[in-house]
Amino acid sequence: MRSGFVGIIGRPNVGKSTLLNSIIGEKVAITSSKAQTTRNAIRGIYNEEGLQIVFIDTPGIHKPKNALGKYLTDTAISTLKQVDVILLIVDEKLSGGPGDKYILDLLKQVKNTPEILVINKIDKIAPDEYLEIYNEYDAEGVFDHIVGTSALNDQNTDVVIDMIKPYINEGPQYFPPDLYTDNPMKFLVSEIIREKALMYLNDEVPHGIAVEIERYIEKDNVTEIDATIYCEKKSHKGIIIGAGGRKLKGIGKAARLEIEPLVGTKIFLQLWVKVKENWRESDIMVSNFGYKKDND
Ligand SMILES: Nc1nc2c(ncn2[C@@H]2O[C@H](COP(=O)(O)OP(=O)(O)OP(=O)(O)O)[C@@H](O)[C@H]2O)c(=O)[nH]1
Ligand SMILES: [Mg+2]
């Protein structure tokens, strides 16, 4: 048996979670067009006969503006030390910004761990633009391999797996071979609700959203779920609920349609919206929402 861990890191919104889902072939992590979607280290398990690779998707590394942002970036950075292979994901934009430089400096400090650069969203660029990005990163002398992907179209993500395989050494089978994530169902449900809320919301509201499952009761043919969507301002609450409650209903319906096949029963989903003023600024509130280190 060979097994190992692979960390997926990069700036927000480059497609890390989309790549994880494409590699695993299941929706493990939620994705959205808004930056800072992922908030926890999310494990997706790739299984093959005699081989198990645990991929760890991480929050986008950015310059933190609040307690939540600090937690997100810390989570991503701490993953670097725990893995056998590091994937740095970048997208089609040419770098040069301080965010990228910061991440490259972090990678240069990591010794003895193979590092693979994934240039994602190649569906959006021409070959010569790809080459420019390739050369820019290649010149850093950090990466063992560089590969272009379109995670959204499942293009070349199998090549990423093939590049990783030679670095996976003998090891235990960490999880049963039919498991593709070890995240509990309740967590997946709360994430799906958050994803649908992100989908329906614009501007400054999404970043201040958190979802808490208040009640989760499994009956024979139905699962009853009560969840609260938290936001940071009273005005945001109104936006989430929408005129005549229509937006909240839409969020609930979209979430239910995705949760039902996952849970395998009918879902009775009730959503509430509550305000927790500026919760992202407070270490305590951030950790109360479950954004805390495993050993805290
Ligand atoms: N065109 C295109 N869009 C992509 C591709 N991969 C991801 N996206 C889109 O990019 C956006 C961000 O994707 P995510 O997977 O949520 O990005 P992330 O890096 O996990 O973002 P954070 O969790 O916020 O750090 C979504 O709208 C995706 O649909 C791709 O290969 N091509
Ligand atoms: Mg993500």
User: What's residue 295's pLDDT?
Assistant: 46
Ligand 1 atom nearest 124 alpha carbon: 1
CA-wise closest residue to 20 among 157, 191, 146, 123: 157
- Separation of alpha carbons 90 and 101, rounded Å: 12
| Chain mean position to CA 123 | 21
pLDDT digits (tens, 9 = 90+) for 183-215: 999 999 999 999 999 999 987 788 899 999 999
User: What's residue 230's pLDDT?
Assistant: 97
Residue 171, pLDDT > 50, answer: yes
Q: For ligand 1, is residue 22 a contact (CB within 6 Å)?
A: no
Q: Ligand 2 being an ion, which residues bring their Cβ within 5 A of it?
A: 16-17, 37-38
Average pLDDT over residues 3-23: 97
Q: Which ligand is nearest to the CA of 198?
A: 1
Beta-strand runs (E) in the chain: 2-10, 42-48, 51-57, 85-90, 115-119, 145-148, 210-218, 222-231, 266-275
Q: For ligand 1, is residue 59 a contact (CB within 6 Å)?
A: yes
Q: For ligand 1, is residue 35 a contact (CB within 6 Å)?
A: yes
Determine if residue 143 is left, alpha or beta; phi over 0 gives left, psi from -120 to 50 gives alpha, anything else beta: beta
DSSP string covering 225-277, please?
EEEEEEES-HHHHHHHH-GGGHHHHHHHHHHHHHHHHHHTSEEEEEEEEEE-T
Average pLDDT over residues 5-31: 97
User: What's residue 84's pLDDT?
Assistant: 97
Return the residue whose CA atom lies nearest to atom 24 of ligand 1: 36
The CATH architecture one would assign to domain 185-288 is 2-Layer Sandwich (3.30)
Residue 279, pLDDT > 70, answer: yes
Q: Which ligand is nearest to the CA of 21?
A: 1
| Chain mean position to CA 286 | 17
Report helix, strand or coil for 218: strand
Q: Give the residue with greater pLDDT, 206 vs 33.
A: 33
pLDDT digits (tens, 9 = 90+) for 67-115: 999 999 999 999 998 999 999 999 988 766 778 888 999 999 998 999 9
In the chain, list all ranges with CATH 3.30.300.20.
185-288
Average pLDDT over residues 5-18: 96
Q: What is the pTM of this model?
A: 0.95
Q: For ligand 1, is residue 52 a contact (CB within 6 Å)?
A: no
CATH class (in words) of the domain with range 2-167: alpha beta
User: What's residue 96's pLDDT?
Assistant: 60
Average pLDDT over residues 215-219: 95
244 Cα to the center of ligand 2, angstroms: 32
In the chain, list all ranges with CATH 3.40.50.300.
2-167
Q: How large is the angle between the packed helices 16-24 and 157-164, nearest 10 degrees?
A: 80
Q: For ligand 1, is residue 73 a contact (CB within 6 Å)?
A: no
97 Cα to the center of ligand 2, angstroms: 20
Considering the chain, what percentage of its residues have pLDDT values greater than 70? 98
Average pLDDT over residues 238-263: 96
Q: For ligand 1, is residue 16 a contact (CB within 6 Å)?
A: yes
Any idea which residue has 């060979």 for tokens?
2
- Residue 213: how many other CB atoms lie within 10 Å: 15
> Token digits for 135?
């050369």
User: What's residue 101's pLDDT?
Assistant: 86
CA-wise closest residue to 39 among 204, 183, 236: 183
User: What's residue 187's pLDDT?
Assistant: 95
Any idea which residue has 């509550």 for tokens?
274
Confidence of residue 158 (pLDDT cuts 50, 70, 90): very high
- Separation of alpha carbons 149 and 124, rounded Å: 11
Q: For ligand 1, is residue 14 a contact (CB within 6 Å)?
A: yes
Report helix, strand or coil for 90: strand
User: What's residue 296's pLDDT?
Assistant: 42
Q: Are 25 and 67 in contact (CB under 8 A)?
A: no
